[in-house]
Amino acid sequence: MSEKSPPLLPDDPMYRDAVAAMKRYHEAQAAGDSPETVERLRLIAESQFQAVNDYQLRALGRPGGSVH
């Protein structure tokens, strides 16, 4: 049986990186950056938040996304 990882706290770098990515996405939208740039930043932010979510689910003993 494998050990569970501890849940992430809000000040964890993984969380902070995801929040920063979302901020960059919203700033690009507000600044009127190109649709390609906005979409790229959205995908990055979405991916980072999904990674945080998957980690938290596994830490709580629930199935998360696939581990790569």
How confident is the model over 12-60, as pLDDT tens digits? 999 999 999 999 999 999 999 999 999 999 999 999 999 999 999 999 8
Question: Measured at the alpha carbon of residue 8, what is the angle toward residues 10 and 12, in degrees to the nearest 5?
Answer: 50
Whether residue 14 lies inside any domain: the answer is: no
Whether residue 25 lies inside any domain: the answer is: no
Residue with tokens 């964890």: 12
Q: How far apart are the first and last CA of the chain?
A: 20
pLDDT given for residue 65 in this prediction: 59
Whether residue 66 lies inside any domain: the answer is: no
DSSP 11: T
Whether residue 46 lies inside any domain: the answer is: yes
Whether residue 2 lies inside any domain: the answer is: no
Q: What total number of domains does the chain contain?
A: 1
**Nearest-angstrom CA–CA distance, 52 and 39:** 20
Identify whether the C-beta of residue 25 lies closer than 8 Å to the C-beta of residue 38. Answer: yes
Whether residue 45 lies inside any domain: the answer is: yes
* pTM for this predicted structure: 0.80
Whether residue 68 lies inside any domain: the answer is: no
Expressed as residue numbers, the domain containing 35 is: 31-58
